Structure 1
Amino acid sequence: MTAQFDVAVIGLGAMGSAALAFLSARGVRAIGIDAHFPAHALSSSHGDSRLIRLGYFEDPSYVPLLQRAYENWRMLEARLRTDVLTTTGVLQIGAPDSKIVAGTRASCALHSLAYEELDRQAMAARFPAFSLDEGEIALLDPQGGYIRPEIAVMGYLTTAAADGAVLHLGEKITSIEPDDAGVTITSPLGSYRAGKVIVSTGSWIAELVPQLKQHAVPIRQVVAWYQPRNGFATQPQRMPVFLRDEGAEGSYFGFPAIGADGVKVGRHAHFREPIDPNQPNPPVNETDTALLDGFVAKRLPAVSGLRVNATTCRYTMLPSEDFLLDFMPGSSRVVVASPCSGHGFKFTSVVGEILADLAADGGTDLPINAFSFESMERFVARSVG
């Protein structure tokens, strides 16, 4: 007998787990299915910490979503009775006209967000873990900080199950077939019927959403942890989370010593190395560690000690590096969530709400027009042209 549900969520990483929790809290009969056991190391939802900030340099249109995300993270914390989001402030560092610094300033100005500007001398006195070149500045977003990804994902799955969701872990969905009455979902273990389906499978998204085969590119990301030379300067009270604009070399991010391994550092998108999502991530190599060791030695003198760990995760990138939150072309019964292009985790708590809106109500009042298939295709067409 085929099981019947109002909504099925395929993929229970960050976005899928949150969507399942929001649906279940509304009394929707929902099932969540994942080929693995969250939060596993092949996903994009592990690794101890994820950055969150309000002054969003990428595009000011993200800010209203972030403001809702903060509210929703605090609601999750209240229900779990544990910390998920920790505020340390976020420093956004670079030349005054760099993408990160100028974009952050514009975003803060448009949305009347508080920030503080620090020059090289002020940074040396207040945040000695960092080394700035002459003429560089930092903008301090006082509401920024970090999220614990494993706690967030498992917390959403726990609340979803408590509210009645069915969880199937270790089960890979091989096909989804929408029709006028619903969607048939098939795995080697059986089939299910649901009124709507949310596909949020991260680096595997193109397997169930063929329209993304040419656009959603899984890439390998590497991060490393360092035992700091100056443990006092790298404590969260004295070393905020940071982003650093290195111009043509790209941008780097990092976290203070919030765990036993010390300070975490990475470069956004690393080497943009495409990977096969069905194979293990290529292991960390000397080229990876040389890149990160060099950055730490140059820019974080208080951190430049012993590298104690390095690992991989995945980004799944769209050409525009934006999100995709939309119905599958030709079917109002299939909601596509992600790719989130390497900067999505901080939005998990609001994206979960958005996906629940789309699946349960057919639309959302939250601003997502920029994250449609149509917007993606327009960007691709402009890029080709």
Structure 2
Amino acid sequence: MSTHYDVIIIGLGAMGSTAAYQLAKKGQRVLGLEQYGPAHDLGSSHGGSRIIRQSYFEDPAYVPLLLRAYELWNEIERESGQEILTVTGGLMMGPPDSLTVSGSIESSKQWNLAYEILEAKDIYKRFPAFTPSPATVALYEERAGFVRPEASVYTHLLQAEKYGAELHFFEEVVSWEAHPSGEGVRVITANGVYEAGKIIISAGAWAPDLLRDLGVSLQVERHVQMFFEPTQGIDIFSVGKQPIYIWEADDYVQLYGFPSFGLKAEGAKVAFFRKGTACTPETIDRNIYEDEVNMMRHYLAQGIPQLNGRFLQGKTCMYTNTPDEHFVISLHPEYPQVAIAAGFSGHGFKFASVVGEILADLVIEGKTNHPIDLFTPQRFAANKIV
């Protein structure tokens, strides 16, 4: 016998957890389905920290969503008593013509965000862990910081349950179908059959299989987060002394990092941006290799030499990329009872709080006042990307 809900959510990671919370809080009967445990480390929502920033070099269109995301991160912290967002300040560094710098300036100017421009000598004077080349400049943003992914997922799931959401873990979805009339969906898992009026698909790296008919190429990549022990002690890299940073080196390779927080034995985290290798969730190699660590050491030696100490650990995660590296957040083009959150392309977690609100709008109202035109899947139709 099937069970009926208002909304079924497939995937309870970054976006699914916030959607479950927002919907349950609004009185919707919610069923959340997750093939692994809560806040697991097999997808994209783990590793202790994710950068959040407002001077968004990817596109100024993201800034209004970021401003709302900050409000909602603060709101869930007040409601739950959990610390999720930590403001540290942020450096967007690189050659003056780099996307990291020029794009951040463009967004800041368009939205009247406060920022400073620092020359190389000023970067070193204020943050002596960095040794930038003479041609390097930086945009400094006071409101940048990091979000704790595991804490976010756990907290939103707990709050969703408090509001009445029914959450099933270790229950893999076999298939889903939407009624052609635009009313009703059915989801089949190994444990049963569930019916609802609406469905949200927020399955991360598993979305390509669940959204084969969407007409969007979603490509999964393996990435590595690395943790190093600083050579002169952890203090200079601690919260309060070190900002988050995105550094576009002179050869235009981007890497990013965080101040140390929590246990000192964890060191400080750094990773490359957009230097991943193609994979699937089933084929991803979870091993960390010496040549990967040595490549990171090459860049640390150039710009952050005090972080180039003992390698402590590495953690793999997955990006799910769209062709233009912008998100897909939309109602399904063919099924208005289906909402999609996919293709976050390695820069989505900071938006999770507001994406949950958007998804709740889409399934309850059929629309949202948030600006999401950039994220429609129909933008790929002209190129016939399949």
TM (norm. structure 2) is: 0.96
Given that 1:108 and 1:114 are in contact with CA atoms closer than 8 Å, whether structure 2 keeps it comes out as yes
* Deviation readout 1:319-339 (Å, 9 max, x if unpaired): 100000112221111111111
Deviates more, 1:314-323 or 1:211-220: 211-220
Q: Which runs of 5+ in 2 are unaligned?
A: none
**Alignment match, 2:114:** 114
Partners of 1:71 and 1:84 in 2: CA distance: 12
Given that 1:234 and 1:302 are in contact with CA atoms closer than 8 Å, whether structure 2 keeps it comes out as no
One-letter amino acid matched to 1:253: Y
* Deviation readout 1:260-303 (Å, 9 max, x if unpaired): 31110000132x31112124534111221111121212211221
Partners of 2:96 and 2:337 in 1: CA distance: 46
Partners of 2:201 and 2:252 in 1: CA distance: 34
One-letter amino acid matched to 2:261: I
Partners of 2:25 and 2:357 in 1: CA distance: 11
**Alignment match, 1:251:** 254
**Alignment match, 1:310:** 314
**Alignment match, 2:271:** 266
Matched position secondary structure for 1:302: helix
The equivalent position to 1:336 in structure 2, one of 336, 340, 350, is: 340
Given that 1:60 and 1:107 are in contact with CA atoms closer than 8 Å, whether structure 2 keeps it comes out as yes
Given that 1:234 and 1:263 are in contact with CA atoms closer than 8 Å, whether structure 2 keeps it comes out as yes
Offset at residue 239 of structure 1 (A): 1.1
**Alignment match, 1:131:** 131
Over 3 Å counting, the alpha-carbon distance change for 1:335 and 1:194 in structure 2 is same
One-letter amino acid matched to 2:150: E
Poorly superposed stretches of 4+, deviation over 6 Å: none
Matched position secondary structure for 2:24: helix
Offset at residue 259 of structure 1 (A): 3.3
**Alignment match, 1:26:** 26
Offset at residue 247 of structure 1 (A): 5.4
The equivalent position to 1:203 in structure 2, one of 202, 205, 213, is: 205
Partners of 1:134 and 1:143 in 2: CA distance: 26
Partners of 1:318 and 1:98 in 2: CA distance: 22
* Deviation readout 1:81-133 (Å, 9 max, x if unpaired): 12110000010001111111000001100000001111111111110011111
Partners of 2:106 and 2:230 in 1: CA distance: 34
Offset at residue 214 of structure 1 (A): 6.3
Offset at residue 248 of structure 1 (A): 4.5
Matched position secondary structure for 1:233: helix
**Alignment match, 1:229:** 231
The equivalent position to 1:299 in structure 2, one of 287, 303, 309, is: 303
**Alignment match, 2:147:** 147
Matched position secondary structure for 1:174: strand
Partners of 2:215 and 2:207 in 1: CA distance: 8
**Alignment match, 1:368:** 372
Offset at residue 27 of structure 1 (A): 0.2
One-letter amino acid matched to 1:173: V
Partners of 1:161 and 1:76 in 2: CA distance: 14
Given that 1:94 and 1:244 are in contact with CA atoms closer than 8 Å, whether structure 2 keeps it comes out as yes
**Alignment match, 1:323:** 327
Offset at residue 250 of structure 1 (A): 2.4
Given that 1:6 and 1:29 are in contact with CA atoms closer than 8 Å, whether structure 2 keeps it comes out as yes
* Deviation readout 1:116-168 (Å, 9 max, x if unpaired): 11111111111001111112111111000001100000000000000000011
Offset at residue 246 of structure 1 (A): 2.3
* Deviation readout 1:28-63 (Å, 9 max, x if unpaired): 011100111121111100000000000000000000
One-letter amino acid matched to 2:17: S
Partners of 1:214 and 1:112 in 2: CA distance: 34
Alpha-carbon RMSD = 1.6
Matched position secondary structure for 1:315: strand
Partners of 1:150 and 1:282 in 2: CA distance: 19
One-letter amino acid matched to 1:322: H
* Deviation readout 1:155-195 (Å, 9 max, x if unpaired): 00000000000011001111111113300110111100000
**Alignment match, 1:351:** 355
Partners of 1:264 and 1:213 in 2: CA distance: 36
TM (norm. structure 1) is: 0.96
Given that 2:286 and 2:315 are in contact with CA atoms closer than 8 Å, whether structure 1 keeps it comes out as no
Matched position secondary structure for 2:295: helix
Offset at residue 213 of structure 1 (A): 7.5
Partners of 2:150 and 2:157 in 1: CA distance: 11
Partners of 2:176 and 2:250 in 1: CA distance: 43
Count of aligned pairs between the two proteins: 381
